[in-house]
Amino acid sequence: MKPPPAIAIDLASPEAAVRQIARQIRQHIVEGALAPGDGLPGVRRLAMDLGVHFNTAAEAYRLLAAGGWIEVSHGRAARVVQRGRMKAGAETVERWSERLRMMIADMRAEGVPVSRIRRDLELALENLKR
């Protein structure tokens, strides 16, 4: 089994650790670092590696399972599931487009150079092609 991609918890973040874990695993799946059928570390191992409570790791896996990203069964490793292509409605697309514009504006307001923003966006697009 290949080593799972890194997950890091930022204790200073206003985002709860459970949401950070779920978001990063979902990101690894979307970007192709985790593929359908790949196993994830056990809940206890993940909790120990991240320095979080067992229940935090378990709740992150429950969130991902409820969203159709992974399958979890007692006594077996959690696995990434094959997801069909989802089609977003116009309202969803506009909501996400607005969030992206806001993030870019925030980056510019904090002095991030346009060249860096462009590079990050291009890298994100390349990762989507995988």
Neighbouring residues of 11: CB distance < 8 A, sequence distance ≥ 6: 17
The model's confidence at residue 79, banded by pLDDT at 50, 70 and 90, is very high
- Is the pTM higher than 0.75? no
The pLDDT > 70 percentage for the chain reads 93
Per-residue model confidence (pLDDT) at position 101: 94
Residue pair 33/5 in contact (Cβ under 8 Å)? The answer is: yes
- CB-CB neighbours of 18 under 10 Å: 20
Asked: is 17-80 a CATH 1.10.8.100 domain? The reply is no
pLDDT band at residue 97, thresholds of 50, 70 and 90? Answer: very high
Closest by CA position to 39, among listed 29, 54, 53: 29
Contact between residue 57 and residue 47 where contact means Cβ atoms under 8 Å apart = yes
